[in-house]
Amino acid sequence: MSTFGSTPGSEHVSEKRPEPHGSDGGTRDVIVGIDLGTTNSLVAVCDEAGPRVLVDDDGEALVPSVVRFDAGAVEVGRSARDRAVEFPLQTVYSAKRLMGRGARELAALTAQLAYRVVEGPRGNAVIDVAAAGGGARTVTPEEVGAHVLTRLRAIAEARLGHPVRRAVVTVPAYFDDAQRQATRDAGRIAGLDVVRMVNEPTAASLAYGLGRLAKASVPRAAGAPERIAVYDFGGGTFDVSLLEILDGDSAGGADATTGDLFQVLATAGDTALGGDDIDRAIIDLVTNEIRRDYGAALEFPPTAQQALRRFAESAKIALSERDTTTLEVSLGDERVYRRTLTRVEFEKLARPFVERTIECCRRALNDASASVGSLDRVILVGGSTRMPIVRAAVAAFFEREPYVALDPDQVVALGAAVQGAIIAGTRVDLLLFDVVPLSLGIETVGGAMAKLIVRNSTIPMRAKEMFSTSVDGQTNVKIHVVQGEREMVSQCRSLGTFELRGIPPMPAGIPQIEVELLVDQNGVLDVSAVERRSGRRATIQVVPSYGLTQSEVDRIERDSFAHAREDMHAHRIVDLRVNAALDLKWIGAALDRVRSRLNTAVVGQVEARMQELAGFIRAADVNAATVDADAFYRAKDALDRASMPVHERAITESLRGQEKAEG
């Protein structure tokens, strides 16, 4: 397929809020907010009194995201976590890091887990859960997430006293389409209608109405928007988002149409960076020292791995509050490993991970064209932000003390509940706009990427562009949807393909194929294509088998800058080569028809220009990098100008032939 005419046209899609409704005809069908976390999960609700976290029968808000599969029974939460050492192969933790991912890309992570992860039928990661009494079966990470969601749903129904059917579920801002789809699947398995997925840092900004808090505490010029950085460091992922909040008063009053506007300016993050990695650093320290003292060949069975994981997590929490903690591991045969770990040593282990989060913050500021000084507030979210080294690093980078009045473990769930209230109609004083983390487009002839939606575009978002065929009589067109920042498809990530079939056979370049990309409010991508002359249509909701690794995300962003010049050159050469070939075909055909009735000088000039342009095409086929794009363009333009008499004569004769036929 080749580009036909216009450039991409993008439009913002306004969001319609449904009217409040309920199954009983009068009671509002509440929409709960759920933070499905790597380490812990929560459920919250928001009503006229504001948002609140719902607790279980023991008065606990946090539900550990741990599930044990045992002889047909399933245990969720604290009971599963506390007995993980007894059931190391049946107890699944940190499943969020596996959702929407491929088994091969997770090899480094899964080697560190106590349970077994294997490759599923589509290459996705599935968990081999050893059943009691021998044998094995597999469960998907989505099933694990569904069990946690089912537990949260039960807590909500017990506290609210009525069934809960709908939920807003939060996801890391850098979750890609596959990971978002996996989250939605988990909700569906749990019997929940996930009416919206909201990025975790964005949800945090909605909690407690940050816009109103800021108006009371941060002096700004009248009508000036507030700028907030949300730093979200959880158990398995890291995100940072920069938001701009314009209060409703500045827009003419807070009502159903002019509430506080939450606009995400930029987001950056790492879906494979969290407190789990710091736990792993402690585990590596301990296991390396044990092997040094008791033998390099010493193995750690799944039982020991589960024990070490809990041990490392406890040490991390202790060193966030104290200067030292004692590490003690029984190795059997009266062998005991014991040592004191200081906060200084711990922070040395944690520093590389904290520095990676700060690098993401730097990238987000650059993407938003913002400076540290332009921010009004920095919000901390996620349990890992309780570590003093994290708070010190954030304060140093943003040149201000972070805002820590909100409970970092609860703020995301509370914000999700606020968004649920907005959708249900309980809250009409807030509006939320999020962003696409990576650019989206389709492949064109020659392997170039046509970007229709660029990264950090506000969602929901719709973009359209017109394309055409590159071969005469082409009746089917394959549309390849890609994601990334490079100009050539070979350096981007494939999301999916589909075919538009049944196009009437026409000369190349004549069909008008309109391709539309729509990213909905959940960040899920739908692609459609229609041939406008025939009305033939095809659509796809992109559901790739698994998502990007963090190294791929890093490479996409890094390479987009490092190779920007050569990528633009390659893309330009591809476009010139495709369009030049079509010019040679059409001009050559017209010249053959009217050659005998043209001045020989005109014919000679056109043929010379055609030969020159054909030489550039041959050179591009051999090595596009060596072709002078400006000279190529000048040769094409020269042929276009030289061939004008050919087209004029061909049109004239065509009209005369039509007149004779009509006469």
348 classed as catalytic: no
Residue (of 89, 72, 74) closest to 129 by Cα position? 89
- C-alpha span between 19 and 48 (Å, rounded): 16
CA 497 from chain centre, in angstroms, equals 19
Instruction: Single out the residue of 205, 195, 196 nearest to residue 239, CA to CA.
Output: 205
Which position among 56, 75, 96, 376 bears the catalytic label?
96
630 classed as catalytic: no
Label residue 94 exposed, middle or buried (CB < 10 Å: 0-12, 13-18, 19+). Answer: buried
User: Is 96 annotated in the active site?
Assistant: yes
Task: Tell me the pairing of strands 440-444 and 477-483.
Answer: antiparallel
Give the Cα separation of 577 and 581 in Å (integer).
Answer: 6
Q: Is 323 a catalytic residue?
A: no
In terms of Cα–Cα distance, which of 533, 494, 492 is closest to 510?
A: 533
Q: Do residues 227 and 244 touch, judged by C-beta distance below 8 A?
A: yes
Instruction: Quote the CA–CA distance of 91 and 69 in Å, as a whole number.
Output: 7
108: exposed, middle or buried (Cβ count in 10 Å: 0-12, 13-18, 19+): exposed
From the candidates 176, 200, 226, 575, which is the catalytic residue? 200
One-letter amino acid identity for 658? Answer: Q
Helix axes 177-189, 141-160, angle to 10 degrees: 50
CB 414 within 8 A of CB 53: yes
- Is 91 exposed, middle or buried, given 0-12, 13-18 or 19+ CB atoms closer than 10 A? buried
d(CA 108, CA 271): 14
Q: Residues with catalytic annotation?
A: 35, 96, 200, 232
